[in-house]
């Protein structure tokens, strides 16, 4: 059976309120990711959340007094409509990656559970580094679908959506090849049933 597009799946999820379950499920990992990145952010930073879903991380970040502006982008129109409805003053844009290019660069790029939906996530890391991030800018991304997380291996078939499975080492090398400096790899929010969200951190 031909795989469906991830953004179509997530539009369906937005229509039936499953974005809220995702938000709850991702909260502990994102909280740890934001704590990791916090000390590296300058005062008055600009930020973008890539694959922002209903935009909840943008709203969390906008509470940080240092955050000058925050944008959210997502390839699911229904997710973006939902984000705009919850937060009419927020900046949320419908954009399909990797083909969309921002008109500006950012001091901070955040992404949770987005990268592996792409056919070539490591190329996206290069695009982020070269075209999206300001010098001295900070990047952090979390992924739950990866080789060492065996419980995740059934997801592409279950959801009938393409996912790119990489090992921790392959992600690390991808960060290095993209040019990132001060790379850190973490597994956060682990518990008895979960080996943790794989977190990729790096600076330009
Ligand atoms: C698992 S959800 C995570 C949403 C949000 N980051 C969160 O933690 O709640 C993945 C998101 O990535 C978006 N996405 C998947 N593939 C995409 C693509 N090629 N371009 C833009 N967005 C995409 C989906 O529409 C979806 O909202």
Residue 96 alpha carbon, nearest atom of ligand 1: 20
Residue 30 inside a domain? The answer is no
This model's pTM is above 0.75: yes
Residue 154 inside a domain? The answer is yes
> Largest alpha-carbon pair distance within the chain?
50
Ligand 1 centroid – CA 28 distance (Å):
18
Q: What's 179's domain CATH number?
A: 3.40.50.150
Structure tokens that stand for 68 in this block: 């000058």
Residue 36 inside a domain? The answer is no
Residue 1 inside a domain? The answer is no
DSSP 25-65: HHHHHHHHHHHHHGGGPPSSEEEEEET-TTSHHHHHHTTST
Residue 28 inside a domain? The answer is no
Residue 38 inside a domain? The answer is no
Q: Give dist(CA 91, CA 52) in Å, integer.
A: 11
Residue 131: partners with Cβ closer than 8 Å, 6 or more residues away: 101, 102, 105
Give the CA dihedral 21, 23, 26, 32, nearest 10 degrees.
-150
Q: Give dist(CA 160, CA 183) in Å, integer.
A: 33
| Placement of tokens 């005062």 in the chain | 43
Query: What is the CA angle 186-19-127, rounded to 5?
Result: 50
pLDDT of residue 194: 97
Ligand 1 centroid – CA 74 distance (Å):
6
Residue 90's domain comprises 6-21+44-203
pLDDT of residue 174: 98
Residue 124 inside a domain? The answer is yes
Q: Is 163 in the pocket of ligand 1 (CB under 6 A)?
A: no
Q: Give dist(CA 5, CA 120) in Å, integer.
A: 15
Residue 34 inside a domain? The answer is no
Per-residue pLDDT of the chain (204 residues; tens, 9 = 90+): 789 999 999 999 999 999 999 999 999 999 999 999 999 999 999 999 999 999 999 999 999 999 999 999 999 999 999 999 999 999 999 999 999 999 999 999 999 999 999 999 999 999 999 999 999 999 999 999 999 999 999 999 999 999 999 999 999 999 999 999 999 999 999 999 999 999 999 999
pLDDT of residue 1: 73
Our count of domains for the chain comes to 1
């Amino acid at each position: 059976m031909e795989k469906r597009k991830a953004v179509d799946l997530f539009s369906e999820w937005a229509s039936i309120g499953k974005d809220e379950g995702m938000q709850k499920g991702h909260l502990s990992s994102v909280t740890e990711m934001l704590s990791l990145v916090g000390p590296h952010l300058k005062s008055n930073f600009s930020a973008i959340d890539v694959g922002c879903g209903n935009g909840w991380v943008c709203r969390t970040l906008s509470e940080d007094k240092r955050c000058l502006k925050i944008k959210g982008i997502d390839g699911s129109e229904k997710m973006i409509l939902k984000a705009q409805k919850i937060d009419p003053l927020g900046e949320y844009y419908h954009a399909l990656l990797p083909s969309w290019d921002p008109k500006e660069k950012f001091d901070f790029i955040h992404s949770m559970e987005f990268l592996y939906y792409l056919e070539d996530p490591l190329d996206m890391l290069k695009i982020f580094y070269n075209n999206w991030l300001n010098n001295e800018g900070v990047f952090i991304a979390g992924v739950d679908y990866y080789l060492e997380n065996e419980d995740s291996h059934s997801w592409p078939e279950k959801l009938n959506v393409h996912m790119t499975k990489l090992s921790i080492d392959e992600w690390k090398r991808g960060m290095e090849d993209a040019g990132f400096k001060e790379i850190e790899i973490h597994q956060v929010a682990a518990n008895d049933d979960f080996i943790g969200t794989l977190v990729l951190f790096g600076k330009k």
